[in-house]
């Protein structure tokens, strides 16, 4: 699985958009980009994933560059409850034999009032 690079920490004002970048320059053609977050004292929460098209759901948007070497997770209106560690993970298509997630150190997002 390709390696990812994320900033160690970021701040965001409540109500503003939080843009979390991730570099994955060695990503291969069949690898997806997944985003999870971990709020203190909870298990990781799945946010979104994508292959090459931009994706949006009720939680966030995922923007993947055309060359797929980087992506940005966007929380459109950050709230205090979005304070968490955000993990960007690159892995191949899920299958019954290879579904392993390799977690890096992630980005600690602090949303302030």
**Residue 81: helix, strand or coil by DSSP?**
helix
Stretch that binds another protein, among 16-24, 53-61, 70-78, 102-110 (CB under 8 A): 102-110
Report the residue from 70, 72, 87, 111 that binds another protein according to the rule CB under 8 A. 87
**What order of strands is seen across the sheet that includes strand 70-75?**
18-23, 70-75, 61-64, 55-56
- Helix (H) / strand (E) containing 36: strand 31-38
Stretch that binds another protein, among 18-26, 53-61, 62-70, 90-98 (CB under 8 A): 90-98
Stretch that binds another protein, among 20-28, 55-63, 75-83, 95-103 (CB under 8 A): 95-103
Please tell me whether residue 86 binds another protein under the rule CB under 8 A.
Answer: no
Q: Is there a contact between 36 and 84 (Cβ–Cβ < 8 Å)?
A: no
Report the residue from 6, 31, 33, 34 that binds another protein according to the rule CB under 8 A. 34
Q: Is there a contact between 85 and 38 (Cβ–Cβ < 8 Å)?
A: yes
What is the spatial distance between Cα 41 and Cα 52, in angstroms, rounded to a whole number? 32
Nearer to another protein, 78 or 88 (CB): 88
Interface residue list for another protein (CB under 8 A): 34, 41-46, 49, 87, 93-96, 99-106
């Amino acid at each position: 699985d390709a390696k990812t690079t994320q900033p160690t920490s970021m701040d965001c004002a409540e109500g503003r958009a939080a843009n979390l970048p991730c570099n994955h320059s060695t990503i291969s053609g069949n690898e997806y980009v997944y985003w999870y977050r971990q709020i203190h004292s909870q298990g990781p929460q799945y946010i979104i994933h994508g292959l090459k098209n931009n994706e949006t759901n009720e939680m966030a948007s995922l923007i993947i560059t055309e060359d797929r070497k980087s992506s940005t997770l966007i929380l459109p209106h950050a709230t205090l409850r979005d304070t968490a560690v955000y993990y960007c993970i690159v892995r191949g298509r899920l299958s019954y034999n290879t579904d392993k997630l390799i977690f890096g150190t992630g980005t600690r997002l602090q949303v302030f009032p």
